[in-house]
Structure formats: C-alpha cells, structure tokens
Copies of this chain bind each other. A is one copy, B any other.
Amino acid sequence: MSGNSIGQNFVVTTFGESHGVALGCIIDGCPPGLELTEADMQHDLDRRRPGTSRYTTARREPDEVRILSGVFEGKTTGTSIGLIIENTDQRSQDYSNIKDLFRPGHADYTYQQKYGLRDYRGGGRSSARETAMRVAAGAVAKKYLKAVHGIEIYGFLSQLGPIEAEHIDREQIEQNAFFFPDASKLEALDEYMRELKKSGDSIGAKVSVIATNVPVGLGEPVFDRLDADIAHALMGINAVKGVEIGDGFAVVTQKGSEHRDLMSPEGFASNHAGGVLGGISSGQPIVAHMALKPTSSISIPGESMTVQGNTAEVVTKGRHDPCVGIRAVPIAEAMLAIVLMDHLLRHRAQNQHVHSETPVLGMRS
C-alpha cells in the first residue's frame, strides 16, 4: 500500500491538491448500520476551515463535504464511503511567482527532487488543505466511537509560543478562536498574535489531544502499538515535529518510583503513561501532545534558490496562518479518532471471544 492510506481495517485514503479540482477520500472498512449524514462531518470541517477568525488564513472555502457512496437511506452499508470537497477559492494566480522558486522550510524542493516535477500552486499535495479530508474521515470515526463505546475525543491548543495553558477547562476550548482551554490567557494570546501579524512572522505551538472511555486492550504488539500508531498519525500532520504520549519528554528526568502508575482494585492512581502500557490501551484516558513548527510562509525575506539552481530571495505573500497550530486541533482529533477506530476493529478481529476475569480498572476518583 502506498503512502496515501492510513489504517489496516479502517482504511482512509485521500487525494487532492490545494488548487486542484477537488479533495476526496475513501473510507474502507466502516461498520454497517451507522447513521451518517454530511452534517456529521461538517461541524469539524467548519472548526478546521480557514477564514473563520483573524488569526487564520483569509482563504475562504466553504469546505462542503458530499457523501458519494457507502451510505444508503441514512446508514452506512459497510461498503467503501466516497467523500468529496470541491475547491472553490483557488486563486491560482497568487502562486505563479513561486513557480520556479523553492520556499525555504517548505516541501517545494523535496517534491521537485523526488518526482522531477511538482504542482507548485499553493503547495499542491503538500498543502495543509489536504487535511480537510482527514477531518471528514475522522468525524466518521468519532461518531462511531462515541455511539458504540462512548469514547470522547477532544483537543486543544496547550501552548502558543511562550504562552502556555495553566488550567485545562474543557468547556472553554470551543468558546474561543484559539481552541485554548485557559480563559485567563486569552487576552495575552490576542495581544501576542496581533504583534506577530504586524511583524510578518509566525510562531510554533503545542496541541494536546485526549480520548476518554477507551476500552482496555487496543493496540497490536509489537510494531503497531497503539502509541506507535498515534505517533505515526500525529507526526504525519503538516508541520508537526514532535509527539508525546503521557508525560512525554518529561520522563527523561523522572525516576521509576515517580513515573509508574500505581494500581489497585480501585483503579489507577495516576496517568503518567498517557493511557498506554506495553503499546496497549489501559483504560485510562489516552493523552498525546504534538509540537507544530512555525510556518515558513512569512513575509520576512529569506535566502533561497530557484528550480534552476540560482540564488533567490523569497517573500511569501498571500493568505497564510501565522500559527498553523491553531487549526491543527481538529486535525489532531481526527487522526486520533482514525487510529482508535482502526485499532478497535483490529482488536475485534482477533479477540472477539476473549474474556478476562480480571476487573477493568478506571482512574481513581
């Protein structure tokens, strides 16, 4: 299987470029009988959509998804689900000036060298616009996980440049344009972003994503551990440079007596592990974090090269997010949902008749 698919039993395959005719995807393996309409996907697509606030790109796409197959009389049929989003606001002319230019920090150079040619319009296939289809597919997974297992998935911006969330108030997340869970920092964020836009620069961010009510047992030893597949899915999001499960890099300075999550019939005493032990979900909440680099699409001139190999200076104009981490929140949720869905089905395949007499633990209250 080539690189545009993810999953083994719940398989999502995408196509589409930033400025092509349309984006699309095929979901293969969705269980039959799930009630599904376009509206189930549109909510998350709208959360990811550009042009919704002054902190994100001004490109305006309705990002309207259509179900082309796999749903009959309002329910999934078990056959492959085809989805499409037409590109409407393409403005290809914006990009003609970078036809022969490699933007530093972008995929322009690597695509050109890998394939010998590239769709230079808006980054082509390397554009984050491609993630719209992931969000749509993730919404299908989310709906199933919620409906059948009560699994809930939510993400938030845990840090933007120097501004870190200190309190995680889940209610707050959807109340602001940053998906930020700490209301006390919103003013500072707003101020920071205004200054940033003025300077023409961009900033990195950290996004967290959490799944609750995940049953114990998901994850396949030894290579397709649940945490390994989460790492694959999150690191595969544009601009991501780091992934953590549970305490992540903080474990480097932890001692064993401090890190291990003690357990008793009353449940786990802590969740340093982030919900995964030995690559298998433990029933604790799954906790993952990812670091997103500052976009290289900035208006500050930078040294670069032309396709022909000559020196050039690049200034990115046009419509770009000063912090790509913000809109990455629904993408991270979608990717986590896809991974959990796939592992749920993989687990079922092998372990349908498994009964353990050991009681299932939760977190201690």
Contacts and interface: CB of A to CB of B under 8 A. Distances in A.
A2 B350 contact: yes
Contacts of A77: 115, 117-119, 124-125
A82 to B, nearest CB: 4
B124 A204 contact: no
Given A15-B69, A26-B15, A349 B351 contact: no
A304 interface: yes
Interface string A188-222: 00000000000001111110000000001101111
Given A3-B225, A72-B124, A345-B350, A302 B260 contact: yes
A241 B235 contact: no
Chain copies in complex: 4
A107 B241 contact: no
Given A29-B350, A113-B356, A13 B13 contact: yes
Nearest to A215: B113
A118 B77 CA distance: 6
Contacts of A177: none
A40 to B, nearest CB: 17
Interface string A100-141: 001011110111111111110100111000100000000000
Contacts of A318: none
B241 A251 contact: yes
B293 A112 contact: no
Given A254-B204, A350-B31, A5 B13 contact: yes
Contacts of A365: none
Nearest to A225: B236
A298 interface: yes
A150 interface: no
B115 A78 contact: yes
A117 B11 CA distance: 21
A260 B9 contact: no
A203 B253 CA distance: 7
Nearest to A303: B262
A353 to B, nearest CB: 7
A311 interface: yes
Interface in A341-365: 345-361
Size range of the chain A interface in the assembly: 35 or more
A22 B356 CA distance: 27
Nearest to A245: B241
A5 B9 CA distance: 12
Contacts of A21: 66-69
A295 interface: yes
A285 interface: no
Interface stretch (A46-54, A167-175, A179-187, A272-280): A272-280
Given A33-B353, A231-B243, A348-B348, 18 more contacts: A2-B80, A3-B223, A15-B70, A21-B69, A24-B68, A24-B82, A32-B354, A33-B117, A69-B125, A72-B118, A77-B125, A80-B125, A104-B261, A104-B262, A114-B216, A203-B256, A242-B242, A242-B245
13 contacts: A15-B80, A21-B68, A24-B69, A26-B26, A72-B118, A77-B125, A110-B278, A130-B222, A161-B253, A228-B233, A231-B235, A241-B245, A259-B294
Top 10 closest A-B pairs, CB basis?
Answer: A107-B278, A3-B220, A105-B260, A15-B82, A202-B256, A228-B236, A3-B224, A232-B232, A231-B235, A110-B280
